[in-house]
Amino acid sequence: MRTVWVHRDFDAPAERLWDLLTDLESWPEWGPTIRSADLRDQQLEAGAVGTITTAIGVEADFEVTAYDEGSRWAWRVAGIPATDHVVRSLDTARCRVGFGVPWPAAPYLAVCRVALHRLDRLSREDEAP
């Protein structure tokens, strides 16, 4: 199925954004549709499963369907292909983050844009003074 994307460039190293994208405790801080997330496995990796609670309180199971350390992970939520997450280093201090969704879910890219904005704020908060 075709995937549609939204990207944003960050003035932060790729590692910082990767950490935010893969730390379940951070998901509610940048993910507008997530209230909480729990992982049944020890770590986020291909095949890992868990549960999210949406912003409106609905629980849904998820499974990580792809995982390339430091660069990409994707998942299914409630058995439906969901968001693909990518991080690409532009240089040592900058990176590009993208979210992809199946084309029938293209309107969800508006939510992904909000997430990118929140990630930008969070990546700046983590900077050392």
What pLDDT does residue 42 have?
A: 80
What pLDDT does residue 1 have?
A: 79
Copy the structure tokens of residue 40: 């049944």
Q: How far apart are CA 73 and CA 52, in angstroms?
A: 16
- Does the pTM exceed 0.75? yes
CATH number where 49 lies:
3.30.530.20
What pLDDT does residue 126 have?
A: 55
Which parts of the chain sit beneath pLDDT 70? 126-129
What pLDDT does residue 41 have?
A: 76
How many domains does the chain contain in total? 1
What pLDDT does residue 129 have?
A: 43
What pLDDT does residue 128 have?
A: 47
Q: Which domain holds residue 114?
A: 3-125
